[in-house]
Amino acid sequence: MTATEPRPVTEGIGDVIRRHADMVYRIAFTYTKNRADTDDVFQEVFLRLCRKGNVFGGDEHIKAWLIRVTVNVCKSFLTSAWRTKTAEMTDDIPALAEEFKEVYDAVHALNPKYGIPVYLHYFEGYNVAEIAGVLSLNENTVKSRLHRARSILKKRLKGDYADV
């Protein structure tokens, strides 16, 4: 195996969950907007990971798979018949650094089609091509959504971060 080939995953499922739990939780929370539903999505994503087994080529493959599955589970959850017949409860996301809370809240308030690319780009460090691949979108669509999201965020956060 050369240095450029991805390493097979040899770690336990617990290690994967510990490393990627925050990312999955925040993506799910961006879609569902409350803890109870986010917990359900979180559980379903990691149950699917357990069922999938050790077939990943490396950490980046696991991370991309988790993002894709989280988005898909959220979309399925939000369009389910059960969901449309229940009352929504809102909640704040736990354990977020105080310095990022206001910005994250503004990102969280965005429509998920804008919020997820922004979250992946700025909080998870993905580039446009990676986001496009993970979300199964065209790169130009991702660029457009990031641009629109920045415009919306600029208006919402105007004054708070004027000198940034």
The confidence score (pLDDT) of residue 164 equals 47
The confidence score (pLDDT) of residue 57 equals 78
Residues of the chain with CATH 1.10.1740.10: 1-95
The confidence score (pLDDT) of residue 83 equals 59
pTM for this structure? Answer: 0.58
Which CATH number is 1-95 given? 1.10.1740.10
Kindly report which listed range (3-17, 21-35, 113-127) carries the lowest average pLDDT score. Answer: 3-17
* Contact by Cβ (8 Å): 92, 82: no
Higher-confidence residue of 143 and 123: namely 143
What is the pLDDT confidence band of residue 28, given thresholds at 50, 70 and 90? very high
**What average pLDDT does the structure give for the chain?**
80
∠ Cα 82 87 93 (to 5°): 100
| Phi, psi torsion values for 87, nearest 5 degrees | -85, 140
Model confidence at 148: pLDDT above 60: yes
Which residue type is seen at 20? H
What is the pLDDT confidence band of residue 127, given thresholds at 50, 70 and 90? very high
The confidence score (pLDDT) of residue 85 equals 59
Compute the Cα dihedral for 128, 44, 16, 110 and give only its sign.
positive
Rounded CA separation 15/82 (Å): 33
Residues of the chain with CATH 1.10.10.10: 96-164
Model confidence at 157: pLDDT above 50: yes
Which CATH number is 96-164 given? 1.10.10.10
- Over the stretch 82-99, which tens digit does the pLDDT of each residue have? 656 555 555 554 445 566
Q: How far is CA 16 from CA 23, 110, 133, 157, in A?
A: 11, 29, 21, 35
Model confidence at 67: pLDDT above 70: yes
Q: Which residues contact 4 (CB under 8 A, 6 or more apart)?
A: none
The confidence score (pLDDT) of residue 119 equals 86
